[in-house]
């Protein structure tokens, strides 16, 4: 061993200790995770939406969750019910409830549960505390390990000081809000781990390319590029705005090693098949539930005076019978919608099987006549009796922030702030700017890509309509940007390196890290609660 390798070996051993401690912390929290009622390991409607879909797929062989959401716990509440669900006609022609969450991750978790269920006979519906805990240990812990290990290897590719590398690794292990999310079933941890893996493969390839310039032969093979393409695409499957970084990853790999593109695209294509294939399997649609929030194809336009009363309803019933594609329309249900218009459900029994069709009756928005109406195919899966999203039940942050300026402030420096809750990220903008103008060409391109993706994704969320400007709902941070964690850790290294040269700089860096770890520690019991800054501001009556 060469003399200058000794500090590196010691540092890596310490990195492994930090990773082990971080994983032990997560494992300990998973081992005791339980909801406030004490009868399941489901911490919120968000993760419950995924869990109920996993249980239905394995135990009922269907994505429909109707049977499970009616199960009541010992205290009388619906143990498996969730607000994150949609309703639409299923493959059997009947209306069913489904999880609104993307299906690829759910299907993968269901695969692990199927193995556990077949080998042990344990079921989540019978053991809603211990089986989910077991699955979280089997799934989240390895995913967290993948994130941490690839993060450490990416940090070690940098030429920063020993202090900077140790600080960056410590920040990754204990200073990001990914740690609280590691104790529940969610998409953010998976997206961050996939992004970290892609980053490591790119940096590894970059180092090899530079070695080849020094006289070493580098012959890239297929599998690293296929894995990079697959991991970049899987991040998109978990976080749709990661599509921006996926495109940039493709460009980065193509510029670095043009021969990597076929493998990259093949890996991405495999994941794309999984995304669209599982979605069609679950919903008989190539579009995700999030894309079914409006009105479908217009069926008929007519003039109608939609005054309330039995005559209006009976008039619609007659029109529905005329539109019915069933041989015999046995039941026509008419429901007035809170937002205006009517829902028509057409039912008929064919060969002993109940079949259903849906239409929506609404006023034509572009018409000057108040009596101009249309009947359209139903395509708003979020509008059903009792829907949290359509019946005025939304409250708190779910109401949405009216002001985009206030929203942007709170998402950065306010109660849900990226920088206020995780102050170590204050070094990220300066670090990225430095990397954009310094270092090898491929590293400068990487920094530019990270900066562009960060700005684009943040702008995307700020530009969302008011109903979607909810900070990610009740959660401990602005969670939609969590998948950037490995990229931002890579970005803060230059600033940490600069600060390592003075005692004051090192002290300030440690203070930022300590403040970040403090925020993480306030959230270890559940990621599905308001940030500590929000709770403190509420205590001081600073919030409306």
Q: What are the tens digits of pLDDT across the range 139-160?
A: 999 999 999 999 999 999 888 8
Residues 313-317: what's their mean pLDDT?
69
Residues 388-413: what's their mean pLDDT?
84
> Could you tell me if 446 and 198 are in contact, meaning their C-beta atoms sit under 8 angstroms apart?
no
Return the closest-CA partner of residue 33 out of 228, 246, 183.
Answer: 183
Look up tokens 């990661």; give the residue: 242
Residues 503-517: what's their mean pLDDT?
97
> Could you tell me if 380 and 335 are in contact, meaning their C-beta atoms sit under 8 angstroms apart?
no
Q: Tell me: the pLDDT tens digits for 89-147?
A: 888 888 899 999 999 999 999 999 999 999 999 999 999 999 999 999 999 999 999 99
> Could you tell me if 104 and 275 are in contact, meaning their C-beta atoms sit under 8 angstroms apart?
yes
Specify the 3-state DSSP secondary structure of 37.
Answer: coil
Least confident segment among 222-226, 304-308, 316-320, 422-426: 304-308
Burial pattern 440-468, b for ≥16 Cβ within 10 A else e, equals: eebbebbbbbbbebbeebbeebeeeeeee
pLDDT value for 4: 44
Return the closest-CA partner of residue 361 out of 284, 292, 303, 285.
Answer: 303
Cβ-based burial of 93 (10 A; exposed 0-12, middle 13-18, buried ≥19): middle
Return the closest-CA partner of residue 306 out of 390, 360, 372, 385.
Answer: 372
In order of 55, 115, 172, the CA distances from 112 in angstroms are 11, 5, 27
Determine how many CB atoms are found less than 10 A away from the CB of residue 161. 16
Phi, psi values for residue 524, rounded to 5°: -70, -20
Residues 291-306: what's their mean pLDDT?
73
Please, which pLDDT band fits residue 222 given cuts at 50, 70 and 90?
Answer: confident
Look up tokens 């309703």; give the residue: 87
Residues 6+ apart with CB under 8 A from 40: 34, 73, 79, 128, 129, 132
Residues 6+ apart with CB under 8 A from 422: 175, 176, 177, 477, 516, 519
Q: Is the dihedral of CA 533, 401, 451, 265 positive or negative?
A: positive
393 pLDDT higher than 80: no
Most confident segment among 65-74, 138-147, 310-319: 138-147
| Segment holding 190, helix H or strand E | helix 188-213
Cα 230–Cα 232–Cα 235 angle in degrees, nearest 5? 105
Specify the 3-state DSSP secondary structure of 355.
Answer: strand
Alpha carbon 21 to its chain centroid, in Å, reads: 26
Q: DSSP code of 361? A: E
Residues 63-76: what's their mean pLDDT?
88
């Amino acid at each position: 061993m060469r003399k200058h390798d000794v500090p590196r070996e010691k540092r890596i051993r310490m990195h492994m200790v930090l990773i082990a401690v971080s994983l032990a912390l997560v494992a300990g929290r998973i081992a005791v995770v339980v909801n406030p009622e004490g009868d399941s390991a489901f911490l919120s409607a968000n993760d419950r939406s995924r869990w109920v879909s996993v249980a239905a797929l394995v135990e009922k062989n269907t994505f429909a969750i109707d049977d499970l959401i009616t199960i009541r716990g010992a205290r009388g509440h619906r143990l498996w019910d969730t607000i994150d669900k949609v309703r639409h006609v299923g493959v059997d022609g009947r209306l069913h409830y489904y999880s609104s969450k993307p299906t690829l991750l759910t299907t993968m978790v269901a695969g692990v549960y199927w193995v556990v269920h077949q080998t042990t006979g344990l079921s989540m519906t019978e053991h809603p505390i211990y089986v989910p805990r077991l699955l979280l240990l089997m799934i989240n812990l390895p995913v967290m390990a993948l994130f941490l290990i690839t993060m450490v290897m990416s940090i070690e590719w940098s030429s920063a000081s020993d202090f900077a590398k140790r600080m960056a690794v410590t920040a990754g292990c204990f200073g990001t809000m990914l740690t609280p999310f590691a104790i529940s079933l969610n998409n953010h941890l998976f997206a961050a781990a996939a992004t970290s893996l892609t980053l490591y493969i790119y940096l590894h390839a970059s180092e090899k390319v530079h070695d080849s310039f020094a006289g070493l032969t580098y012959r890239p093979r297929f599998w690293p590029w296929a894995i990079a393409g697959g991991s970049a695409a899987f991040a998109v499957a978990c976080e749709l705005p990661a599509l921006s970084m996926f495109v940039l990853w493709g460009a980065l790999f193509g510029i670095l090693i043009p021969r990597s593109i076929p493998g990259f695209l093949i890996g991405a294509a495999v994941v794309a098949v999984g995304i669209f294939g599982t979605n069609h399997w679950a919903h008989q649609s190539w579009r995700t539930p999030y894309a079914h929030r409006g009105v479908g194809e217009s069926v008929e336009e007519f003039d109608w005076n939609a005054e309330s009363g039995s005559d209006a309803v009976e008039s619609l019933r007659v029109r529905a019978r005329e539109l019915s594609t069933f041989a015999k329309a046995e039941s026509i249900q008419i429901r007035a919608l809170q937002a205006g218009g009517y829902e028509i459900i057409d039912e008929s029994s064919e060969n002993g099987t109940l079949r259903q069709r849906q239409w929506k009756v609404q006023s034509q928005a572009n018409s000057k006549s108040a009596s101009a109406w249309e009947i359209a195919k139903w395509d708003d899966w979020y509008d059903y009796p009792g829907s949290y999203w359509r019946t005025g039940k939304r409250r708190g942050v779910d109401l949405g922030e009216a002001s985009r300026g206030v929203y942007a402030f709170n998402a950065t420096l306010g109660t849900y702030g990226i920088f206020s809750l995780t102050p170590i990220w204050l070094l990220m903008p300066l670090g990225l700017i430095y990397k954009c103008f310094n270092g090898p060409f491929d590293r400068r391109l990487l920094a530019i890509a990270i900066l562009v993706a960060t700005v684009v994704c943040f702008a995307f969320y700020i530009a969302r309509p008011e109903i979607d400007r909810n900070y990610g709902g009740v959660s401990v941070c602005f969670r939609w940007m969590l998948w950037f964690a490995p990229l931002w850790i890579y970005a803060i290294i230059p600033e940490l390196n600069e600060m390592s040269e003075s005692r004051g700089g090192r002290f300030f860096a440690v203070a930022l890290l300590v403040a970040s770890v403090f925020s993480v520690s306030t959230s270890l019991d559940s990621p599905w609660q308001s940030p500590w800054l929000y709770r403190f501001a509420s205590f001081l009556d600073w919030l409306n």
